[in-house]
Chains A and B, each alone.
Chain A
Amino acid sequence: MKFPLRSIVPIFIAVLYFAQPSPGKAEEQFPAREASKPTTITCEECCCQTVLTTLEAQNKRLSEDLRGIKRDIAALNQSIAEPGIPAAMAGIGYIFGLFGVAAYMASRRKNPSSRN
């Protein structure tokens, strides 16, 4: 277990270092001193642990954000799929128009003398 952890440390440091300048909610909470911390601390185990915990926390926050966004997308999809007021108005218009035409035909049939 010791060997792979040790080999991963530089990668984590590099990831943290490169992730630093990019803007975003998740990164905001990790100031620059955390990236430079591992270089000052000699105990590699300890710094590895810190990096791991920070990464895990970051991941957790990110996945929470993602879940929220997915929920929003699902809600949006649903609200797009369900018909709204315009469709209802269109339908009412169709119905009244249809019955209007029917009433017109009926009135013409009733008194054919008015035809010209």
Chain B
Amino acid sequence: MHISDGVLPTTISLATYALTLAGTALSLKFVRPEELPKIAVVTSAFFVASLIHLPLGPTSVHLLLPGIVGALLGPAAFLSIFIGLFLQSLLFQFGGLTALGANALMMGVPALVCGLLFQLIRGSSLLSNTIAGALAGGLGTFFSASLLAGFLFTSGENFLGVAKLALAAHIPVIIIETAISAFTISFIYRVKPELLMWKQR
């Protein structure tokens, strides 16, 4: 899922870096000091999730979790994803430092969109929260894969072929993330529903 060094043209790398830094700075404005521990825990979960490989035929895929991060953190999700990806590229060699901007946009934008969607449709019952969580999880991965295809298109690949490949490879991830998100959100809703609220600054 991560874009590696040297895949994207320089202009795209720079542009995505600028957008990512702007997004991170904006997202910093929404961080409340009381929320820092929650953001730290979600960031760690996001950081480690990509190590969980699920065997899929000859290759393996890994979890992405942009949906859950967005649903739990709201506007602060972008910061969390940026830090998680930065450490992943340093420690795991997942994606390169030059592609960090594109990777952060690829996961951060779906996280924000899914977070908003989750807040809009979650309602106040366990069932509606679970469904909203499942939708956020599945759509987050779907949007990420679509953005990946879009970024690869800028590097000159055949767009339709790559998009189909990226989406096809992520169908199992989408299914698994939908299930995991539904379970996680319903569990949090039952145990500590205030974690699902976004506190405004």
Number of A residues near B (Cβ < 8 Å) is 17
- Size bracket, chain B contacts: 10 to 19
Provide the bound-state CA to CA distance between A107 and B43, in Å: 21
- A-facing mask of B22-40, CB < 8 A → 1, else 0? 0000000001010011011
Residue on B with the closest CB to A110? B33
Per the bound structure, the CA–CA distance linking A110 and B87 in Å amounts to 29
Find out whether the CB atom of B37 lies under 8 angstroms from the CB atom of A99.
yes
Interface of chain B, main secondary structure: helix
Q: Do most interface residues of chain A lie in helix, strand or loop, or is the interface mixed?
A: helix
Which B residues contact A (CB, under 8 angstroms)? Answer: 31, 33, 36-37, 39-40, 43-44, 47-48, 51, 83-84, 87-88, 91-93
B92 A83 Cβ-Cβ under 8 A: yes
Say whether B51 contacts A99, CB under 8 Å.
Answer: no
Given A83-B51, A87-B91, A88-B51, the answer on whether A96 and B44 have CB atoms closer than 8 Å is: yes
Task: Enumerate chain B residues within 8 angstroms of A99, measured Cβ to Cβ.
Answer: 36-37, 39-40, 43
A74 to chain B, nearest CB (A): 14
